[in-house]
Structure 1
Amino acid sequence: MAPIQPGQRVAVLADSQNLYHSAQSVYSRNIDYSSLLEKAVQGRELTRAIAYVIRAQAEDEDSFFDALRDIGFETKIKDIKTFGDGSKKADWDVGMSLDAVTLADHVDTVVLCTGDGDFSRLCNHLRHEGVRVEVMAFGESTAEELIEVADAFVDLSEREETFLL
């Protein structure tokens, strides 16, 4: 796969739930999305930056969504689903995957900001299509199979002063 070059077109897809839970469980801190985006792009040409978020009716939620947009992320918002048994579910795996496959024809690199191993098949598919795949996540909560199939892995834990607020 091609190394990082200035002219590369990049799409950054951030699984906000996965990043949030990892940052909270390991550090009890939040993600610095501005630094995340800057490192993901690395001087290349940003085509799209999408943050996939869940609306959980939490305090300060709307200001967080606004902040993401101010930084340069397009936000895709899904409401949390509560089932009859009281369990809750919300994830963007299918939506992120569809967007990545759709964007593949328009970019050279897709940066997946998630540690979710469910995306390893997506990585294989994108690489098969000739797209460079980079993963940015916390090493201790990233699936081994995802790290193995990515062209590059940035461990956010190695630079917590950069990536955490």
Structure 2
Amino acid sequence: MPPLHSSQRVAVLADAQNLYHSAHSLFSRNVDYDAVLEQAVYERELVRAIAYVIRAHSPDEERFFEALSDIGYETKSKDLKTFADGTKKADWDVGLSLDAITLAQHVDAIVLCTGDGDFTRLCWHLRHEGVRVEVMSFRPSTSEDLIDAADSFVDLAGDEYLL
């Protein structure tokens, strides 16, 4: 996937929860976030890379968050909420969307690393604003509407994106 031009300014927004669950349910493996970031930027100017994470207070999560920072991602975290009936909820849909809309004024392309179809409308909006939208995720767990709404799609199902 060559960029439109090497001087493009790009932002990478990674829905870590979505990628984690997809990689584990499809392949029982972890995502190589370094390889994802390298492919997402692809010889362009990285303006910002943000990984949206959920704090579940599991033993290895701090190490994971630090590893993301070492790779070059800024991490934004939310606590996992448990409701009285035992259900759990945590998502970054609104936060990621607001960041994308804000960053759109400062970049030529936004790479959404998620397969969540809730971001389809965001893709259409960003493209209407003149921003190139690229989606990177696992094809079997990616919304067809999201793929259709993006300018390009990269399937992360290859070994080069998994650990």
TM-score (norm 2): 0.98
The aligned residue for residue 141 of structure 1 is 141
Q: Give the CA deviation at 1:59.
A: 1.3
Percent sequence identity is 70
Structure 1, unaligned stretches of length 5 or more? none
Residues 1:113 and 2:120 are matched in the alignment? no
Deviations 1:91-110 (A, max 9, x none): 00000000000000000000
Q: Which runs of 4+ in 1 moved over 4 A?
A: none
- Unaligned residue ranges in structure 2 (runs of 5+): none
Provide the aligned length of Structure 1 versus Structure 2: 161
- 1:97 is matched with 97
Aligned to 2:60: 60
Give CA deviations for 1:32-60 in whole Å, capped at 9, x if unaligned: 00000000000000000000000001111
TM-score by length of structure 1 reads 0.97
Distance in structure 1 (CA, Å) of the matches to 2:117 and 2:4 = 24
**Cα distance in 2 for residues equivalent to 1:94 and 1:19:** 17
Shift of 1:164: 0.3
- What do you get for the CA RMSD once the two structures are aligned? 0.6
SS of residue in 2 equivalent to 1:54: strand
Structure 2 match to 1:80 = 80
Find the residue that maps to 1:106 and give its secondary structure: coil
Secondary structure (helix, strand or coil) at the match of 2:84 reads coil
Q: Larger helix proportion, structure 1 or 2? A: 1
Shift of 1:5: 1.2
Name the CA distance, whole Å, in 2 between partners of 1:81 and 1:50.
22
User: For the residues of structure 2 that align with 1:149 and 1:74, how far apart are their CA atoms?
Assistant: 26
Superposed, 1:3-18 pairs within 5 Å as: 4-18=4-18
